[in-house]
Amino acid sequence: MKTQPEKIIIFDTTLRDGEQCPGATLNIDEKLAIAKQLARLGVDVIEAGFAFASPGDFEAVNKIAQIVGTENGPVICSLARARQEDIKAAAQAIEPAAKKRIHTFIATSDIHLKYKLRKSRQEVLAIAEEMVAYAKSFTDDIEFSPEDAGRSDPEFLYEVLERAIAAGATTVNIPDTVGYTTPTEFGGLIKGIKENVPNINQAIISVHGHNDLGLAVANFLEAVKNGARQLECTINGIGERAGNAALEELVMALHVRRQYFNPFLGRPTESEEPLTNIDTKQIYRTSRMVSNLTGMLVQPNKAIVGANAFAHESGIHQDGVLKNKLTYEIMDAQLIGLTENQIVLGKHSGRNAFRTRLRELGYEPTETELNKAFVRFKEVADKKKEITDWDLEAIVNDEIQQA
């Protein structure tokens, strides 16, 4: 029997679903750099890619398994359709990891069965069962997803999940593939699964959701209240179409409102014990790295990691914050790894302060790169009263990463 985790498992799919968004393609070295940073961030599982998709994807998953998948590191996972050739490639790619998972999926909604798979429910049931058992011959840790669960007939879903768990699935992931459900519906779906799948306690319930209606994070929080213990998410919420649930938003919602969520995890309301293993101080740095490497810009008003997330512009707000930050801030900028005061450097600042701040932001420039960037910094500082972290990021992009 799978024991239920004490904390919420954070499953990061930036390198798989995140990379599926148009324009976000990453090379192997970039994927490896992100995987290392995800490990520093403290994610429990890294979905490193879709090994069967291309030789490059296979190599990236394999390299991440070798280098990041250490004994104390995260579980390394590869996606695989419910087909033998996919599952075999996934198993080979993750082989070097100390902790490895195969994530296999097949659609269960009638729309997908009729138009995409052209298969009956009975056929899908048999494939799910057979392919989970096949995956289990390579590793114990098996995740099964009924794709488009959000639009599937719940009775059929219960049956598929029961059979997948009986065949060896240790995590059952419930995807809202097209971001269609509302929070109450999604929470109800998880509740229904808990109540109607007889062997559900032998597996961890996971959720995966897209942001087509901007509801993915809200849906996940309802899912947690109803028994979900693994959240599949991406840095900055990147992913197919409107993206996935954003890791930083989920983690900070669970952190800032932990007393609200504690009872749903069977903890005393007042408990200060973190709900996830994430080192929140690594959030900002990870967000910047993913944005820089994928070229996917973060909108200024994006929750948690947007440029304006901790900025106060109006006089009334500035006055309030100067008197007491609690008036307009529900979390400290330092919690996500930003300096408390983002206005730290100006035209009078020296090289040392400049270098120190770059290091705090995760950059290790060589002497030559530093010299170039410092000249540019002084030019910008002459024109701007305030040099923010976002100006520094732009300078680094122009002068260091392209050097």
Residue 301 annotated as binding?
no
Distance between CA atoms of residues 180 and 266, nearest Å: 30
From residue 28 to residue 67, what is the string marking binding to ligand KIV with x (rule CB under 6 A)? ----------------------------------------
Instruction: Using CB positions, name the residue nearest to Zn ion.
Output: 17
Angstrom CA distances, 44 to 112, 222, 229, 285, stand at 31, 21, 12, 18
145 binds, among Zn ion, ligand KIV, none (CB under 5 to 8 A by kind): ligand KIV
Backbone φ, ψ for residue 206 (5° rounding):
-115, 160
Q: How far apart are CB 143 and ligand KIV at their closest, in Å?
A: 9
Residue 147 makes contact with ligand KIV by CB under 6 A = yes
Residue 208, annotated ligand binder?
yes
Question: In terms of Cα–Cα distance, which of 143, 120, 117, 148 is closest to 131?
Answer: 143
Beta strand segments in 171-253, E:
171-176, 204-209, 230-233
CB of residue 30 vs Zn ion: minimum separation in angstroms?
21
Q: Can you list the pairs that 358-366 forms with residues at least 24 positions away whose Cβ atoms lie under 8 Å?
A: 358/392, 358/396, 361/285, 361/288, 361/389, 361/392, 361/393, 361/396, 362/37, 362/285, 362/288, 362/289, 363/396, 363/400, 365/396, 365/400
Binding mask 199-228 for ligand KIV (x = CB under 6 A): ---------x-x------------------
The type of residue at 141 is D
Span 169-188, contacts to ligand KIV by CB under 6 A = 173, 175, 177
Of the residues 8, 9, 14, 17, which one makes contact with ligand KIV according to CB under 6 A? 17
Residue 294: name its binding partner from Zn ion, ligand KIV, none (Cβ under 5 to 8 Å by kind). none
Asked if 105 interacts with ligand KIV (CB under 6 A), we say yes
Residue 210 labeled ligand binder: yes
Report the distance separating Cα 63 and Cα 96, nearest Å: 9
Cβ proximity to ligand KIV: between 143 and 159 the closer is 143
**Which partner, ligand KIV, Zn ion, none, binds residue 50 by CB below 5 to 8 Å per kind?**
none
> Is 317 within any annotated ligand binding site?
no
Site for Zn ion in 12-41 (CB under 5 A): 17
**Which residues lie near Zn ion (CB under 5 A)?**
17
